[in-house]
Structures are given as C-alpha cells and as structure tokens.
Amino acid sequence: MTDATVGQAASGTGWSPRMLRYLERAGLVVPRRTAAGYRSYGLLELNQLRSLRELRRQFKVELTGVAFAARLRREPDLRAAMDTWLAGTELSALDWEQRKHERLLAA
C-alpha cells in the first residue's frame, strides 16, 4: 500500500484535513514527510487515526483530553505536578476541617 496524502487520509478515516493537522501539532498522530515536505500517512498512522476515532466514541472523550493524556506521558514534570495536585484533592473531610481551622488560627 502506498502512503496517503492529507486528503486521502482524511477521507479514509473520517477526519477532516484540518483535524489531521491539529492531531499532528498535538503529537497524537505524526505522519512522515516527503522530500517536498508534504505529509505522508502510512498504514501505522491510518490505523492510529481510526483507533483514535473509536477511542473517542467508546469513552466519550474529547481530543483535548487525549492530547493532555499524551503530554502526561511525555512530560515527567507535568505528570509529577498533576500527581501532587490530585493527591491534594483527595483530602478527607477531617483533613479539610483541620486545615480550615489551621488557616483560621493563623489569620
């Protein structure tokens, strides 16, 4: 199978050419480039596009969420910051009350 152009990839996967460019900028699907600089979608990228559509449908997730999840995997500092933030959102009611009283006493 020969590689697909942006238009061919769009029509074969159900994405618009504009969305294919967005997906590339987000690092979700990165096609090869020809010597002239055109995007070239091979079997791997076409399958990624199809499976991404199915993932969004099955789990009702937006592309921004998928892009953020990809960043979490690529950027350890972001992942660590999110882990810290999420741990703070899991406070028990008792912890929350304790911190509230500490803030009141400090004021």
Residue 63 CA, chain-centre distance (Å), reads: 6
- pLDDT tens for 50-68 read 999 999 999 999 999 999 9
Continuous H helices in 5-42 = 6-13, 17-25
Give the domains, in start order, of the chain with CATH numbers: 1-74 (1.10.1660.10), 76-107 (no CATH)
pTM of the model: 0.76
| Size (the chain), residues | 107
Query: pLDDT, tens digit, for every residue of 79-101?
Result: 999 988 888 777 677 777 788 88
How far does the chain reach from its first CA to its final CA, in angstroms?
Answer: 70
Taking only the tens place, the pLDDT of each residue in 15-27 is 999 999 999 999 9
